[in-house]
Chains A and B, each alone.
Chain A
Amino acid sequence: MADKASIALTVNGKEYRAEVEPRLSLVDFLRHGLGLTGTHVGCEHGVCGACTVLLNGETVRSCLLFAVQADGMKVQTIESLATAQGLHPLQRAFHENHGLQCGFCTPGMILAALELLRRNPSPTEEEIRACISGNLCMCTGYVNIVRSVQAAAKSGAVGGDRQP
């Protein structure tokens, strides 16, 4: 077994230190090391998008990153979106537009949509579909997911905020 490495990183605004085996993936570290089980594992080869997190503000596949690679970085997971005040506008839009059924793809889907709306606050349907095409959903046929993102865009409550 390879030696463990020390890492220090910020997750959802909180600093963590840990000793990790190099082959431990970032998603496994988040889920089992830190107990942040909102990020999901769906394929472990980068296709399904269930493991999407924000790394230094950008969406990445956390199943294709080793935890050691996140040393010194800022990670944001789905858990950072809702606050004590309530759901994030995107989460609310998904709730109001029946944008989730089993909910397993939802965290990744929402982070992908968040990245889109931050760059492009008024996307067309085609742009939305292209952007979330890296996130597989097996339940919804995507119709209500697109509607949810459109509703969130229309509300104007998302986008432009570059805060972590």
Chain B
Amino acid sequence: MSATGGKWVGQAVPRTEDPALLVSRGGFIDDISLPGMAHAAYLRSPHAHARIVSIDTQKALAHPGVYAVVTGEDVARWTRPQKGRVPLHFSPKVYALAFEKVRFVGEPVVAVAAVDRATAEDAVDLIEVEYEPLPAIVNPEQAMKPGAPTVFEELENNTLWHGTFPYGDVEGAFANADRVIEERITIHRYLSTPLETFGVIAQHDPATDTLTIWGHTQQPAQDRHALAASLGIPPSQIRLIVPPMGGAFGNKVRPLFLIILALLARAAGRPVKWIEDRRENLLALGHSADGIMDVSAAVKSDGTILGMKFRNIENEGAGIDFAGRHNLLMLSNIVNCYRVPAVSYDGYSVVTNCCPVVANRGIGKPFMCFSVERMVDIIASELHLDRLEVRRRNFIQPEEFPYDTPSGQTYDSGDYPELLRKALDLIGYEDFRGEQAEARKKGRLLGFGVAVGVEPGGSNLSYGMLISGPTQLLSGQGEAARIRMETDGTATVYTGSLEAGQGHATSLAQIVADELGLRVNQVRVPTTFDTASHPSVLTSGVYSNKFNGHDTAAAIGAAKKVREKLLQRAASQLEANVQDLELKDGTITVRGTPDKALTVAQVATRAYWSLADPQPDGEPGLEAVYYYSNPRARKPDEKNRVRVQLGFASAAHVALVEVDPETFEIKLKRYGVVHDCGRQINPAIVEGQVHGAAAHGIAAALLEEFVYDEGGQLLTTSFMDYLKPTAADLPTIEGDHLETPSPFTPLGTKGIGEGGAVIAPAAIAGAVEDALAPLGIRITGLPITPTRLWEVVSSKGKRYGSKKG
């Protein structure tokens, strides 16, 4: 019985990860303790921009209980400069600690290892740093202008990267338009903030100059290489162990901390642990990029979109690590669900004295979806058309899949009209319209918002070649898996995937159980990744929804190999033909001869024990490794078309809000999601991801915001000011789904997980705008807060968002 007809895939199997987590043996990084372990703390920059004149660590070093103090000068001596993930054509001298300059408030300047965290912080207080403050710049558009303070001396106009990608006949589209509609749309800085903060433990063995690192990462192979390259040692001298993470959401890719801890461990002569605290997390781990999008849409008067132009400025903060990433990832959903034949993207990646960006859930795609969906509503408004009609008119239709978008994405499958129809049905749209009309007569402001979006998943890392050229080494997407059948008839699965709450272990167990005819609880998937035992490729890890289609394919590939070996051995032992064998519930039988049977355990036992037996597949044991590479992950073509993402789930989000006409408080009354991620491995896990992602998007639209003052000081540095949603702030997220299987993945699944984070902000904005329709206010920026709505209303403004550039 093969996986496609299997009995576990498709079931809402209760998760195998749960028991350990529920009895609190979750094994998170801070649960790990090593003998003699020291604890680290940082002195962090109080300035947004300053030259470091001097650092005096004498008193800190002399403080009882302090084992080591490391400064940027030490790091510059001991390591090679950092390189960005997407190699740039310029290389500023940036190290894991601030070197010569500080470029954002919170930047780590000095690292201390001491007997405990409190003592390390006491020692930090004793360090004297002299700074020469420099003017700071926080607005990316201002940062691009001549005369703006330069964040990196090598970088003129603070522009890390600028690229222009025209696709299709853009000029023709605009020439043929009945109307050209323009708008400036903005997004703010926010962050998913996993409840568990970042953590690292480093242990150095001086005898062999090897490092063992327990630490957070979402790309273990890449981070291991970054660490190796930085320290000038081979990756094989680094063992990287990644415990299950208490959430990640793209935030936990920070190899600089692996580097610092490795250096501290070496300097201290003992293992060192660092657990980030919440203040450090909000201040300096990383933010999602804020950005500006100037959009022009060429439309016909019936609402057909002929072409769109995007000019986008992304604020990278003071980091080079993610240069251009937000920009390039936006190419994956640049036409969203619509048949737009011509589109151009003019993107800037700009540095400022804000916190460096990190790949927060959706990375770039939330802003692009927000921009496109806002434009669709604005087009409808300008043309006096119904915004549902404009969507329907422009939707890519179900029969058009697989559909190639102008930027080179191949949308695998979908049914956007049906998503919308079901979403309207779910939320009771027709009834709402009546309710809204009645409410308006009484002065109440009810609003309905809708956003339909593709949810691109599975990054093709070749997209970086759009910046660094065809010689970039990193390309494609894939994953590795090793499956070992144990002598007791259970299977253990090791992949380059990681656990951060998405239930990967359960999902993989379901898939492998189907493939090997086992029960789910007979498939063990360790939730700790270890380079010593897990295979990996450089694209390994947990990010961009790559699990569905890559990790799954790797696991299936390895399982098929094991299955084949298993059946060959069984055939040999049962003296039957492989084709006549049936594998079910841990037993192998011969069709038609019920007395001829073997258990999987029996076959597996002989495979390892009885080496003198004939070895039908040439080798003893029952184990296989499979490396999967997605054949559709190609390099950019000469027209800069590239499949930035490889799979396209989709969803329609609908929101009902009520806005208080006097205080502009926004009450989210109902929220619904109709999603399509193709075949679902575990519907409960999928539903959980839908809820969680929607919550992130809703909170980003209404609550969460990092606020900098003009001097680059972050004003939101605790959970009292940076507002996460609580259970009392969100409604129950209602849901329905479709399944249009992907023709390209082994199970027909598509990546789910970023989804709602990409689409929800647009639905919320649409709902608030609809509620405020009697006041005629257009929403073009986020977040939407009552105090700012009040400012717009009380000044009789018509636009909520930044002014047009």
Contacts and interface: CB of A to CB of B under 8 A. Distances in A.
Direct interface between A and B, CB < 8 A:
yes
Interface of A: 1, 21, 23-24, 31-32, 36-45, 47-48, 50, 77-79, 82, 87, 91, 94-96, 98, 100-107, 125, 128-130, 132-146
Question: Lowest 10 CB-CB distances: which A-B pairs, in order?
Answer: A38-B24, A102-B501, A104-B246, A103-B21, A141-B695, A141-B691, A101-B501, A133-B728, A47-B719, A133-B726
Given A95-B14, A101-B692, 6 more contacts: A40-B196, A48-B278, A98-B15, A142-B726, A142-B727, A144-B688
A146 B695 CA distance: 14
Contacts of A1: 64-65, 119
A82 B503 CA distance: 22
Interface residues of B, number: 59
Contacts of A129: 727-728
B277 interface: yes
Interface of B: 12, 14-15, 17-19, 21-26, 28, 30-31, 33, 64-65, 118-119, 192-197, 244-247, 249, 275, 277-278, 500-503, 684-685, 687-688, 691-696, 718-720, 724, 726-730, 732-733
Given A95-B14, A102-B247, A37 B21 contact: no
B195 A137 contact: yes
Contacts of B692: 101, 138-141
Contact of B730 (A50, A82, A130, A141): A141
A39 B340 CA distance: 52
A10 B28 CA distance: 25
Contact of A95 (B18, B30, B691, B726): B18
Nearest to B275: A41
B526 to A, nearest CB: 16
A81 B718 CA distance: 31
Contact of B19 (A23, A95, A141): A95
A8 B22 CA distance: 28
Contact of A104 (B192, B196, B688): B196
B75 to A, nearest CB: 28
B503 A130 contact: no
B688 A142 contact: no
A45 B278 contact: yes
A95 B28 contact: no
Given A44-B277, A103-B22, A103-B246, A128 B502 contact: no
Given A40-B196, A48-B719, A105-B195, A142 B24 contact: no
B722 to A, nearest CB: 10
A3 B480 CA distance: 54
20 contacts: A24-B118, A39-B24, A40-B28, A40-B246, A41-B275, A45-B278, A91-B23, A95-B14, A98-B14, A100-B18, A103-B21, A103-B22, A104-B195, A133-B728, A135-B726, A136-B726, A138-B192, A139-B247, A141-B692, A143-B691
Contact of B24 (A79, A140, A145): A79
Q: Which of B24, B197, B500 has the most CB of A within 10 A?
A: B24
Contacts of B688: 98, 101, 139-140, 144
Contact of B118 (A23, A42, A104): A23
A102 B196 contact: yes
Given A44-B278, A87-B23, A133 B727 contact: yes
Contacts of A140: 688, 691-692, 695
Given A82-B23, A98-B15, A105-B195, A42 B278 contact: yes
A63 B664 CA distance: 36
Contacts of A107: 24
Contact of B30 (A24, A31, A128, A137): A31
Contacts of B727: 128-130, 132-133, 135, 137, 142, 145-146
Contacts of A40: 28, 30, 195-196, 246
